Structure 1
Amino acid sequence: MLEIFGKRFDVTDGIPGSPESVGNNVAYLFGRYGGCTFNGGLYRVHSTESFRKASTMVTEAYPEFGFPLIPFGFDWLGRQFVLDLRSGDVDPEILLLEPGTGEALEIPRKFSTYHDDELVRDPEPSLCVSFFNEWKSENPADLAFDQCVGYKVPLFLGGEDYVHNLEVSDVEVYWSLMGELRLATMNLAPGTRISGIEIGE
């Protein structure tokens, strides 16, 4: 696990480790690449600290799942990759939680093969690589580990899926804001007009 991924994705921040565990589990991923940024911010593997924060963020924003969400990585758009524990499988598939759309997408790939297969063979669906490259052409600086590129107006509130609707944000701040907006609007009928928004402190 991670051998092919490590050859195709460049660590641009952080220091790879030598994990004590072996195999195909999250502990091995964190031991090998926890806290590392790849390709200038395209993808990151959670550190122990960011994992704890992300666990709280995604649970609060997506309470409908009703089971612990285990985030292991996140991309440049702040989207969180989490283990889908609904099947009870020891090698679960992946959920992609998107704060900008308010959606949870199923990725039909096992965690054990996700990095070496899906992200290497066809990273576009998971990481929106072409959109990242378009944004990077106008914003060449690498993203810090705690930053993402978020939507100024989220797509679930009618925002446009274009570069001009993106801005660099703190991941926690962005998730807090998008999570509150998602919960406040998720039960509204499509097309409902929203006259004003208040964000709690």
Structure 2
Amino acid sequence: MFNSFLEFFGSENKGYVKRSEDIYLDFIMNYSKESFGSGLFRVVDSNNLESFKGLVQSCFSELSDDIRVIGFDWLGRIFVSSDTSDSKIYMCDAGSHEILEIPLGIKEFLNNEIPEYPDELFALDFYKEYISQGGISPSYDQCIGYKVPLFLGGLDDLSNIEQIDFDVFWTLMTQLW
């Protein structure tokens, strides 16, 4: 079901067992709290779905109450499905206070968009530069956040990022906005 996604991250050994007819639930049930690409992308912990949804809605109130959190990247951007119709993915970026709409369902997003456009989705080249300069991959509950948010004139470069607790980052960005 998620072969291209797993192959892209070299994680075929994580396996897959069909657990639900709902593609979203199937993905979450199989990979809850898993990290892919050395922290590049992490799947939300199924025990924290509501708290992650709350973070997104506190920063981006214009999103529907029906959003479903999929996961998040190393920069703390949260990826959500638009609703149970699974027609869009939103990348919610608290650091720039922007939402990117991706007009794909979950399966297409995971199996096509991620393997084909990892730099555009995850700033992969920036991540590689960060790691090559001695940066440490974030643990599950951390992200690499902006010291000065982009929406306050912060630079989008290595000098303006630091490792920070994920929840603290989102809470601070929401309060600043």
TM-score by length of 2: 0.91
Deviations 1:34-58 (A, max 9, x none): 1101111100111112323211111
The unaligned stretches of length 5 or more in structure 1 are 183-201
The 3 A distance-change label for structure 1 pair 64 and 122 is closer
Q: What is residue 147 of structure 2 aligned with on the other side?
A: 152
Q: Does 1:142 align with 2:137?
A: yes
Q: Does 1:131 align with 2:118?
A: no
1:136 shift after superposition: 0.9
Aligned residues: 176
The 2-side partners of 1:115 and 1:20 are apart by 16
- Secondary structure of 1:74's counterpart equals strand
Counterpart contact for 1:151–1:159, Cα < 8 Å = yes
- Secondary structure of 1:150's counterpart equals strand
User: Over aligned residues, Cα RMSD in angstroms?
Assistant: 1.9
Q: 2:82 aligns with which of 84, 88, 91?
A: 84
Aligned amino acid, residue 111 of structure 1: I
- Secondary structure of 2:120's counterpart equals helix
Counterpart contact for 2:95–2:173, Cα < 8 Å = yes
- Secondary structure of 1:78's counterpart equals coil
Counterpart contact for 2:90–2:101, Cα < 8 Å = yes
- Secondary structure of 2:104's counterpart equals strand
TM-score by length of 1: 0.80
Q: 1:94 aligns with which of 67, 89, 109?
A: 89
Q: What is residue 6 of structure 1 aligned with on the other side?
A: 6
The 3 A distance-change label for structure 1 pair 71 and 63 is same
Deviations 1:38-85 (A, max 9, x none): 111100111112323211111111112242331111000000000123
The 1-side partners of 2:114 and 2:21 are apart by 18
Q: Does 1:104 align with 2:135?
A: no
- Secondary structure of 2:145's counterpart equals strand
Deviations 1:71-123 (A, max 9, x none): 111000000000123xxx72321001001100111112221211110101221
Q: Does 1:162 align with 2:157?
A: yes
